[in-house]
């Protein structure tokens, strides 16, 4: 028996029907809502974006971002990059034995800022000094620097007569880096000052290579 879409009046002989409604009306009524433009803070120095934390805008990050901003019921979705900051999301959903696609476009409005790391790096902040000493100091420094920069920032790099000094944003990053490179440092803490009634220490790590 032929059906008539109660919303737009089209006959079922002319369009696919989902339940009582034609496909187009059904899709409009589902109400998958994604804002057409979404603001996203991004760091003008390191180019990372701020989602739950500061991170590179990769596929995984984009998916999280869409999940956070979409309203409505769907089974899954995939994202296509259109151009510049424009994306299309295809949401897939099933209804009875029908599979439906709902397409939504959105663009990212990137809001320029500086991430916490870059803000600290440019203000000269550091938690640790890493001293590299010995004949191979120069060569090892490059390796160490590369590893460190995956984890934190280096706010100063000093070439001295006795070796290399790096001023590093995070103690934890120094320990991890030296661990990975199987270097054992001599560690010493120096009282740096008092902040909010607590003593602040800066740690010096010295490695011989």
C-alpha distance from residue 25 to each of 12, 71, 103, 120 (Å): 12, 18, 14, 53
Cβ closer to Zn ion: 112 or 195? 112
Among 32, 38, 40, 45, indicate the residue that binds Zn ion (CB under 5 A): 45
Q: What is the Cα–Cα distance from 24 to 3, expressed in whole angstroms?
A: 15
Which window, 6-14, 77-85, 127-135, 140-148, contacts Zn ion (CB under 5 A)? 6-14
Among 62, 70, 118, 209, indicate the residue that binds Zn ion (CB under 5 A): 118
**7 interacts with Zn ion by CB under 5 A:** yes
Which window, 59-67, 109-117, 155-163, 188-196, contacts Zn ion (CB under 5 A)? 109-117
Among 18, 27, 34, 43, indicate the residue that binds Zn ion (CB under 5 A): 43
CB atoms within 10 A of CB 102: 19
**27 interacts with Zn ion by CB under 5 A:** no
CB atoms within 10 A of CB 98: 13
Alpha helices in the chain (DSSP H): 23-30, 59-69, 116-122, 137-151, 171-180
Can you name the residues that pair with 41 across neighbouring β-strands? 111
**70 interacts with Zn ion by CB under 5 A:** no
Q: What is the Cα–Cα distance from 130 to 177, expressed in whole angstroms?
A: 11
Can you name the residues that pair with 167 across neighbouring β-strands? 129, 156
Which window, 108-116, 144-152, 163-171, 185-193, contacts Zn ion (CB under 5 A)? 108-116
By CB under 5 A, name the binding residues for Zn ion. Answer: 5, 7-8, 22, 25, 43, 45-46, 115, 118
């Amino acid at each position: 028996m032929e059906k008539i879409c109660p919303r737009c009046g089209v006959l079922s002989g002319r369009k696919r029907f989902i339940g009582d409604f034609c496909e187009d009306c059904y899709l409009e009524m589902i109400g998958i809502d994604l804002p057409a433009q979404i603001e996203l803070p991004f760091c003008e120095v390191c180019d990372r974006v701020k989602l739950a934390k500061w991170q590179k805008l990769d596929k995984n990050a984009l998916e999280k971002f869409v999940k956070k901003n979409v309203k409505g019921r769907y089974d899954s979705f995939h994202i296509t990059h259109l151009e510049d900051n424009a994306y299309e999301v295809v949401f897939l959903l099933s209804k009875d034995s029908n599979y439906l696609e709902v397409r939504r476009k959105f663009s990212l409005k990137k809001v320029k800022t500086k991430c916490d790391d870059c803000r600290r790096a440019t203000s000269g902040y550091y938690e640790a000094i890493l001293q590299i000493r010995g004949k191979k100091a120069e060569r090892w420094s490059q390796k160490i620097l590369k590893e460190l920069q995956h984890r934190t920032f280096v706010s100063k790099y000093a070439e001295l007569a006795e070796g290399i000094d790096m001023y590093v944003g995070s103690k934890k990053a120094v320990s991890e880096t030296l661990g990975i490179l199987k270097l054992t440092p001599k560690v010493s803490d120096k009282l740096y000052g008092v902040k909010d009634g607590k003593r602040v220490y800066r740690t010096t790590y010295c490695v011989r290579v």
